[in-house]
Amino acid sequence: MPDTQTVAVERVGGDLRCTVGESPVWNALESAWYWTDIPARTIWRLDASTGALRSWRTPEMTACLAVRRSGGLIAGMETGIFSLSLGDGDVAEASLLAAPAPGELTADMRFNDGRCDRQGRFWAGTMVRDMAAARADGRLYRYDGRGLSGAMVSALVTQNGVAFSPDGRTMYLSDSHPTRRRVWAFDYDTDDGVPSNRRLFADMADCAGRPDGATVDSDGCYWVAGNDGACLLRYAPDGRLDRSLALPMAKPSMCCFGGADLDMMLVTSIDPGQGAGAGAAGELAGAVLLLRPGVRGVPEAAFAD
């Protein structure tokens, strides 16, 4: 296992802390970052040029985001896939686009991690909110102009880590529940949007942390937040652990490339509730960070309305 490296970090928003910061996304047209604080029902925006922060409240918990070509965002929320319009006020306008079949998304579940494939189809998965229940009821879905697919992957406990290789022909998916801690790779049909040939990519049972949100860099390496491990982990395309970056919080939740040259990374995190400066949670639990990982990312596709 490679030695863990340290990297300079910049804290976003001064003393800003998210309860469960998640799903950062870079909007190149706006030169801005977006992310969500799930239980706070809040979407945040950071203007990369001015450093200005804005936020909008949402009617449901918003777990994952992607930019829409037509403007606004697409999101996986509590009851389905929604379109979000962010206006001049502080409340987002949410319109339901699609929901799973009856019985697949019960009242004790919600959507979790998601992103667009290289062709602009939105992928998002579900989970049981109470992780202690360890119920494998989570499913992964694809949403496109024709509607929401049936479950493309089933029997997930805590669905996470969706990402696509630079050429779009490999899809990654993880289960971050403590009983799973695995990342899988799939062959991905870019024409039909169908994954196949599921195989184990990384078993994190013996690594720092559990696999949370993820992204892919221009070398085709898979970057994943090591939740409970205070680190970001970089895996080569062959599944070899290539690099580990130390972070000042125990529970980083997701990372995203952005900036004009895609050489910056924004990292969200979780505050488990002990409050500011909480020992084992890390001094910056819940903070949002910017750092330079030493490699460049790949432009993320916007949702193709």
Supply the range of the domain harboring residue 108. Answer: 4-291
- 187-222 pLDDT, tens digit each: 999 999 999 999 999 999 988 799 999 999 999 999
Q: What is the pLDDT of residue 282?
A: 72
Q: Let me know if residue 298 belongs to a domain.
A: no
Total count of domains within the chain: 1
Residue 118 above 90 pLDDT? yes
Do 199 and 239 meet the contact criterion of CB atoms below 8 Å apart? no
Q: Which two tokens stand for residue 162?
A: 């969706």
Q: Which residues contact 243 (CB under 8 A, 6 or more apart)?
A: 2, 5, 233, 234
Q: Is the pLDDT of residue 278 over 70?
A: no
Alpha carbons 67 and 101: distance in angstroms, whole number: 25
Residue 83 pLDDT more than 90?
Answer: yes
pLDDT per residue over 58-73, tens digit each? 999 999 999 999 999 9
According to the model, what pLDDT value does residue 301 have? 96
Average pLDDT over residues 18-33: 98
For tokens 């490679």, what's the residue?
Answer: 2
**What's residue 275's pLDDT?**
46
> Residue 301 falls within a domain, yes or no?
no
- In 110-238, alpha helices (H): none
Rounded to an integer, what distance in angstroms lies between the CA atom of residue 185 and that of residue 155?
Answer: 16
Answer whether residue 300 is part of any domain.
Answer: no
**What's the predicted TM-score (pTM) here?**
0.96
Q: Where are the beta strands (DSSP E) in 129-217?
A: 138-144, 147-148, 153-156, 159-164, 170-175, 182-189, 194-203, 210-216
Q: Is residue 91 part of a domain?
A: yes
CATH assignment of the domain containing 137: 2.120.10.30
Positions annotated as catalytic residues are: 212
